[in-house]
Structure 1
Amino acid sequence: MKVLHDEKRILTINPGSTSTKIGVFHNERSIFEKTLRHNVEELQRFDRIIDQYEFRKNHILETLHEQGINISKFDAVCARGGLLRPIEGGTYVVNDDMIEDLKSGYAGQHASNLGGIIAREIADGLNIPSYIVDPVVVDEMSVLAKVSGMPEIERKSIFHALNQKAVARKAAASLGKRYENMKMIITHMGGGITIGVHDRGRVVDVNNGLHGEGPFSPERAGTVPAGDLVDLCFSGEYTKEEIMKKLVGTGGLLGYLGTNDAVKVEQMIQGGDEKARFIYDAMAYQVAKEIGAASAALKGEVEAIVLTGGLAYGKSFVSAIRSYIDWISDVLVYPGENELQSLAQGALRVLLGEEQSKQYRIE
């Protein structure tokens, strides 16, 4: 394959609980992508998730070698960001401070913490930079948006930052504008649903899609009546873990319909299942209502509304949401997500001098 001299070659890494997705990109063009599956028995040899990094790194390097990919030609390695301290969005150099927080599990143990560590090890051996891009801990929320109504509780920014920001840039470009100059609402709809208020390149408000806020989703309850939730907590029927599981894991579509598979729900609807239709419509209604609230945060100055994530493949679901919100602004749809490409794009912006890399600091 002919490669232009000014093309940048980037290795991207996205670790999951039992797999590691890798991609090789020439600029934004995917040359090779593969999901490396890790046997559960193999992973059980390690006491902590973080101890898996050498094992996963070697698996990556062996796979690249088998594919005949010359790693000495890479210009950068870019990985999914882990559970770090709250930071603003952007492309960050994997530095010593970041490695310290990833290894110690500062904000929790998660497979994504392995990304920066593996990227740094591979990149250091090649004398090239290593980066992470827009991790889930991106926090650009306004101080006003963080007020919850209870002094003991502050609203937190936990959302699909990587996909939201990548899709926002794509949508802005399609409109002939720069993301940093636009006011948009980006709605990521997957296992969790997050609606971000994007104000000139910063996500100034967003629902916490992980811990029970916003619309219900395929497996999460979203915002539920607080008093009734307190009653459940103190009913004596559930442990704390069981209540949390109801909020995140067995809530939403799974709780109502026994499945978290939106494709299956659509098949149920086509088969005449009225309950499935009702619950699916309720989820679309809740998403639309949250988008409406997000538009108020922008005082109605919404230049585009974007729907993305796996649920955006569902034409009837998207149509239902549109029916509530298309009076607010143009609605753009970008189904699915491509995290590997989003990582490559983040690194590329820095390599081409379009954006400055950022430094992670322990303060």
Structure 2
Amino acid sequence: MKTRILAINLGSTSTKIAVYENENLYLEKVFRHDADEILQFENSIAQKKYRKDHILNFVKENNYSLASIDIFVGRGGLIKPVEGGTYLVNEKMIQDLTSMKYGDHVCNLGAILAYEFAQEYNKVAYTVNPVVIDELSDLARISGFKGIERKSVFHALNQKAIAKRYAKDVKKSYEELNLIVVHMGGGISLGLHQKGRVVDVNDALGGEGPFSPERAGTLPLFSVIDLCCKGEYQTKQKLKQSLVRKGGLYSYLNTSSGVEISRRIEQGDKEAKLYFEAMAYQIIKNIGALYFAAKGEVDAIIFTGGLSYQSLLIEMLKEKLFKGLNVAVYPGEDELSALALGVVSILKKEEKVKHYK
């Protein structure tokens, strides 16, 4: 019996939707959004109607009916730290996402929209491997200042999916490999996957790791304190928004588009090349930290995410890596498929559904 699944994956500048019949893709659509258009919204929750309208337009254009969907699944957002798995979306989760209690990012809307559609059509909604999966080792959790603990906030859904895909490609199980997975999109996260657990990863939303197309990454602490005290930003939210949505390459080049920056470099723009290569340099520095934290016992370094389509960036990264390291590149992401497979694993009773409390 075929189960129809609508998968919703919202990124900082993209809305991705797909219909699956069990694990088989039936329909798919990707909407790309201009960064400046998104910046008009005060926060992620304010984007709900905008994102929902895109999904409804997709349904209408394909003469499809949401009433025919059996299960809705959305990318997981910023909730309290949880273990990996497939979660039933409930009121408690919706409250935490809507209030932005644990943070503001558009991924919060994935489960919210899935839940709204499920409520409207009397169906169920799930989320799979939310961004707050916490498998950090005790050592990795310590920050260096009492009262502040390192957090695990990263592209968990895609990192896990790509790591498992690589394992399948090399005919091994995910649980027997040690991998460094580098997701490069609007934000950049680097995870050390040891025997099926992400034991160390930068807080990709909270100001750790390399700068990215949109995010500032790790900054000199005293300079950030000075910035806070100058009064240029009226609220904490506005400062956070600038660091997360207007930081990184956007702050230097007034664009977060890897395609545009690559084009500018090809046309001889030295400034664009400098900042693009600086980003690559910071990515390599962070890979090095994880590599030596793992005592060099790393089976592969995997690059994934939308920026992995930029051959210029991949060339810059490979040039800076140790020769002889096993490097794999999986451009884009497998998140829609991973969402559907998370649901299918529940239907097949391969995994048990988890409940958010």
- Give the TM-score of the pair, scaled to structure 2: 0.83
| 1:9 equivalent in structure 2 | 4
Contact 1:212 1:222 in 2 (8 A): yes
Compared CA separation, residues 261 and 100, structure 1 to 2 (3 A): closer
Aligned to 1:216: 211
Residue of 285, 288, 296 corresponding to 2:284: 288
Cα distance in structure 1, aligned partners of 2:85 and 2:97:
18
| Corresponding residue SS for 1:333 | strand
Rounded to whole Å, the distance in 2 between the matches of 1:129 and 1:166 is 23
Q: Does residue 1:195 correspond to 2:190, yes or no?
A: yes
Question: Aligned partners of 2:117 and 2:184: how far apart in 1?
Answer: 33
Partner of 1:24, secondary structure, is strand
- The answer to whether 1:32 aligns with 2:27 is yes
Contact conserved, 1:50 with 1:114, CA < 8 A, in 2? no
User: 344, 351, 355: which one pairs with 2:347?
Assistant: 351
1:155-166 pair list within 5 angstroms: 155-166=150-161
CA shift digits 1:127-146 (9 cap, x unpaired):
76531011122222122112
* Matching residue of 1:115: 110
Q: Give the equivalent residue in structure 2 for 1:311.
A: 307
Deviation at 1:240, TM superposition (A): 5.5
Aligned 8 A contact 2:161 2:334 in 1: no
Give secondary structure in 2 for the equivalent of 1:145.
Answer: helix
Partner of 1:207: 202
The answer to whether the Cα contact below 8 Å between 1:90 and 1:358 also exists between their aligned partners in 2 is yes
Query: How many angstroms apart in 1 are the aligned matches of 2:288 and 2:31?
Result: 40
- 1:328 is displaced (CA, Å) by 6.7
Q: Is the deviation greater in 285-294 or in 98-107? A: 98-107
Q: Which stretch shows the higher mean deviation, 306-315 or 138-147?
A: 138-147
Q: CA RMSD in A?
A: 3.4
Counterpart in the other structure of 1:274: 270
CA distance in 2, matches of 1:288, 1:272: 24
Give me the whole-angstrom Cα distance separating, in 2, the residues matched to 1:337 and 1:184.
17
CA contact (8 A) 1:89 1:202 kept: no
Counterparts of 1:17-28 in structure 2, within 5 Å, are: 21-28=16-23
Alpha-carbon distance change, 109 to 307 in structure 1, aligned in 2, over 3 angstroms: closer
Between 337-346 and 121-130, report the one with greater CA deviation: 121-130
1:340 to 323, 336, 347: 336
Other-structure match for 2:87: 92
Normalising by the residue count of structure 1, what TM-score does the alignment of the two structures yield?
0.82
Q: Structure 1: which 5+ runs fail to align?
A: 39-43
265 and 26 in structure 1: CA distance in 2 versus 1, 3 angstrom threshold: same
> How many equivalent pairs are there?
348
SS of 1:248's equivalent in the other structure is helix
Question: What runs of 5+ residues in structure 2 fail to find an aligned partner?
Answer: 34-39
Q: Which amino acid aligns with 1:219?
A: E
Report the Cα distance in structure 2 between the residues aligned to 1:259 and 1:26, rounded to whole angstroms: 38
Name the amino acid aligned to 2:174.
Answer: Y
Residues 324-359 of structure 1: CA distance to partner in whole angstroms, max 9, x if unpaired? Answer: 225473111111124322211221222233333222
Please report how far the alpha carbon of residue 187 of structure 1 lies from its aligned counterpart in structure 2 after TM superposition. Answer: 0.5
Conserved? CA contact 2:186–2:215, under 8 Å: yes
Tell me if the contact between 1:84 and 1:102 (Cα under 8 Å) persists in the aligned partners.
yes
- Find the structure with the greater CA-based Rg: 1
CA contact (8 A) 1:300 1:328 kept: no
SS of aligned partner of 1:234? helix
- Residue identity over aligned pairs, in percent, reads 49
